[in-house]
Each structure stands twice: as C-alpha cells, then as structure tokens.
Amino acid sequence: MSVVDNQAEANQSEAISAGDGPTMPRTQRSNPLRDPGDRRLPRVPEPCALVVFGVTGDLSRKKLLPAIYDLANRGLLPADFALLGFARRDWGDGDFESLARKAAKEHARTGWDEEVWERLSGNIKFVAGSFDDDMAFDQLASTLEELRASHGIKGNAAFYLSIPPTMFPVVLKQMERTRMADNSTAGGWRRVVVEKPFGHDLPSAKALNTLVDDVFTADDVFRIDHYLGKETVQNLMALRFANQLFEPVWNANYVDSVQITMAEDVGIAGRAGFYDATGAARDVLQNHLLQLLALTAMEEPVEFTADAIRTEKLKVLRAITLPADLSAYAVRGQYEQGWLAGERVRGYRAEEGVPADSKTESYAAVRLGIDTRRWAGVPFYVRTGKRLPRRVTEIAVLFKKAPHLPFSHTDTEELGHNQLVIRVQPDEGVTLKFGSKVPGSMMEVRDVSMDFLYGEAFTEASPEAYERLILDVMLGDATLFPRNEEVEASWRVIDPLEAFWQEQEPEPYRAGEWGPKGSDNMLARDGRSWRRP
C-alpha cells in the first residue's frame, strides 16, 4: 500500500510550507523541465526500505519511528516505501506495528493523521532474531527480496544500526555474509547509518572505519551526528556565507574569542553503563562540539555539496591545537548533590550503576586554537556538562572591543564585547549584542540585544534533526554526515586530553552550578569570563 497519495495536493503543499521551499503555482511545481539544482521543492527519495536494527530501543521509539511518521505526514516518503524492524522479540508484523504506532503518536512532531498512519502501517514488517542468528539474517535478506516485488523498492535499502557499538562487527559480518550490503547484488543502493560513538579513541575509530568500509563502500556509509541536523546548525552556514555583513569581521583581526557551550540540566538518566565508560569529553566534545567548531571556523566551500563542505571542515579539525599547559587550560569536573530547579538532586557517584569511586567526568572544558591564517591567536573555549542550571547549546562569537577614544571611562564602563550568539537549542535563533546610548542627558553606553527567533520569524515549525537526517540518507545526500577522516581528526584532539586526565580526579561542582571553579579560572587567566546563557 502506498505511503504517499500522489493525488494529495495538500500533502505537497504542506511539505513546502514545512520548510522545504516557498509555495509555487501548480504548473511550476510539476514542471519536469525545471532547474535540477532548484532546492525549493520537496525532495522525495526513490522507492526504498529502511531497516532498523535495535528497533525496540529508546532511540528508535523516541526519535526514529516518530521521524518516519513525520516524513510520511509531510508527504516526503516515496510512494513505494517499507519500514523493516529487526530485534530479539518474538513478534509478528502486527506487534511491531502496534509499537510503532504508539511511539509515533507519543513523540511525533506533526499532528496525528489516522489516514497517514493507515497508509504507512501497511508497509511495516518485522523480523525477529538475535544478531548472531544466521537464520534470522537469512530471513531478513529474503524479506528484502520479497519487498522488491510486493512494494516496488527496486533493491534500495538503508540499514540503521541503532545498537551498541560492540555489536557492530557481528551485524556487519552478517550483512556481508548475506550480501545485503552489496549494491550490485541488490540491483539498487545499499547504505548504512552508524550512530555515535564512533569508537572510544583513535585506534578503535580506525578499526571501526576499516570494518564498515570493508562491508560498504565509503560513499554508502552515513555516520550520524544528530546535532548537524538541527535547523540552527544549518543556519550557521547560511548566516556566514549568504550574508556580506559577517564575513569581513569573521577572523582574528576582529574576533576576540569564541565560546561553544552545550549544557544539560539532566543527569545520566539511567545510562550509567554507557556514560561511566565514556564521559563528557568522548560523549559530546569529540563529536557534537568539534563539529560545531568546524562549521564556525571553516572557509567558504566552493560549492554547497557534501564533498566541498566536508573538505573545509576537515581542514579546520586538522588545524586544531591543544594548549601547551593542559593543567591550566583543560578542566574536567563531576557533579555532586545540589539543588536544581527547586529540587534536590543526587551526585554523580550516587547515581544508580555508577561506582562509588568513579573518576568519569560529567563536565569538560578546554581552550583550543586553530592554526590557520584566519584564526591564529583566537582562543576557542569549548565546554559541556550535565546537571548545569539550564539546557542550552550555543555558539558565541565575541568581538574585540573598540578603542572608545571619544568616550570617558565612565561612559563605557558597563559596555562589554559585541557578541553574535547562535542558539542551537532550545530557543533556536540568533542574538546580536552591541552598545547603545542610554536615554538621558548623559553619555552612557550599555549593551543591548537584537534577537531573531525561528518560532517568530517563520510560521512553519522546524523539522526534528532525525527527520532531516533520515531523509538525507534515503536521498544519498551526505552533506550533514561526518566522514571517517573527520572522526579520526577529532580523536587526535581528544586522545591527548584523555591521556592527561586519566590519573586525575575530576574537580567537583554542585548540581545547579555552571561547572567547577577551575573552568572559570581557566578563562580568568586570559582576562575573560564565560558567557552566562
């Protein structure tokens, strides 16, 4: 049964209003001779299947299945589409459909439409089995082959590995054995989506990359970092390269420093097994924040293509330098019990499943440099932490202060740095902070702010990151996916930090504070302070 009703003009119009382009007359939208580079119209993939391993896990239930429904609701799934779940459950198609329906209804971004779900539910299949079960994988391969005829998927399939990294080798070897990863055998494209963490250090990342590339071709591997699917992260490129206003001052001549913050008010949320073996630096700094840094600092690509953008990001990652004195400019911490939002919360070592003597950091901050002509001498302060006062992710570009020659000291004593702040979450938007005269008979200049909010400037809601990324996988658009060279370059930054921190106790900080005092001292040594989001 088709997911997309080809006669449903409303679906196409809704897709356009949801951020895929402006409304156009019907004749223009349906014109097959339109410019193939015109990205204003909805992009709909070829007929295909999406196979989700670990489909009963939290990521699948809270993000992947709702994203699939949202894409269907926006008319962005192909007319011939199949969703195939694989997990160790004694289920049939109906049991999986019930789980998927519940997950989509609870977590979908778009409104519930029973007709959309009915069309989608007819394309849902389930295969039960463990990852080391040859018969189960033989059945999975057979089911994909049956879907070629029954659902017209033409051999196209994407495989989403929503599973622990330790199981990657087993699953990949099974896919190699059954030749499910072979494009020529399938008669269409076969792609794989790999969730972070991409290894736990440089050697393991290289081993993982080798393993994946042995089974899939390099162009068919999509390493997913959901932060890169967020609308404001993509807007960073538009802000920089579509406007003449910012480029002339986007360099060491005018920028004093850059601060990149990812703060969470939650604890480890029952993930002790994963988090205590990983820590803040490996969990967030190595991927999310270094990717944000690369997008902030990269040069303008020659064209807006995956290869061109990833080439410029890689140049930045390879140019990152660590401070000579890590003891002064690399800080990690661990939260203790404290008060957060009026509630007393326990410390990290009191969390269920965490050893009482754990040295794992829940907070990490470091000063990085970028050894390029554009950024030489500009410090990039990067921090992430749990149990901080509020949830926020932002990139703050702080500009050098003007000489203020016409003004006396008292005129500008309350004036700070001009700032451009890109808010990634939760209040997506951009803030420009600059000085303005205070009304009155005296000359007094203070900071004021101009805010751009996505929710106020546009009537349509921003798609969830997984909507955009899953759609891009099916389209074969790798622009927002790091390639293996980027992953390895990031580990070359993180591994020396981890080696330095290995034998050290993390500095304590109370839940509800903005991290350990050592983090504030790190900036104070440079005559700076953290921006309070």
Looking at the annotation, which residues are catalytic? 288
Residues 480, 465 contacting (CB under 8 angstroms): no
How far, in Å, CA of 44 to CA of 72, rounded? Answer: 11
Question: What count of other Cβ atoms lies within 10 Å of the Cβ of residue 455?
Answer: 11
SS3 41: coil
How far, in Å, CA of 250 to CA of 178, rounded? Answer: 51
Count the residues in the chain: 533
Token representation of residue 33: 């001779």
With tokens 């293509």, the residue in question is 305
Residues 316, 297 contacting (CB under 8 angstroms): yes
Residues 155, 148 contacting (CB under 8 angstroms): yes
Residues 161, 145 contacting (CB under 8 angstroms): no
How far, in Å, CA of 475 to CA of 306, rounded? Answer: 12
CA of 410: how far to CAs of 199, 301, 325, 407, 413, in Å? 54, 44, 37, 8, 5
- Helical H runs in 285-361? 290-297, 306-319, 326-329
Token representation of residue 203: 């050697």
How far, in Å, CA of 480 to CA of 309, rounded? Answer: 9
SS3 485: helix
Provide φ and ψ at 16, rounded to 5°. Answer: -65, -45
The DSSP bridge pattern shows strands 507-510 and 330-336 to be parallel
How far, in Å, CA of 444 to CA of 464, rounded? Answer: 44
Token representation of residue 508: 């304590």
How far, in Å, CA of 310 to CA of 286, rounded? Answer: 16
Token representation of residue 335: 């939260």
Is the alpha carbon torsion for 438, 443, 446, 449 positive or negative? positive
Is the alpha carbon torsion for 182, 188, 189, 192 positive or negative? negative
- Helical H runs in 298-337? 306-319, 326-329
Provide φ and ψ at 46, rounded to 5°. Answer: -70, 160
Question: What count of other Cβ atoms lies within 10 Å of the Cβ of residue 274?
Answer: 14
CA of 432: how far to CAs of 300, 428, 435, in Å? 22, 14, 10
Q: What angle do CA 387, 380, 254 make, to 5 degrees?
A: 130
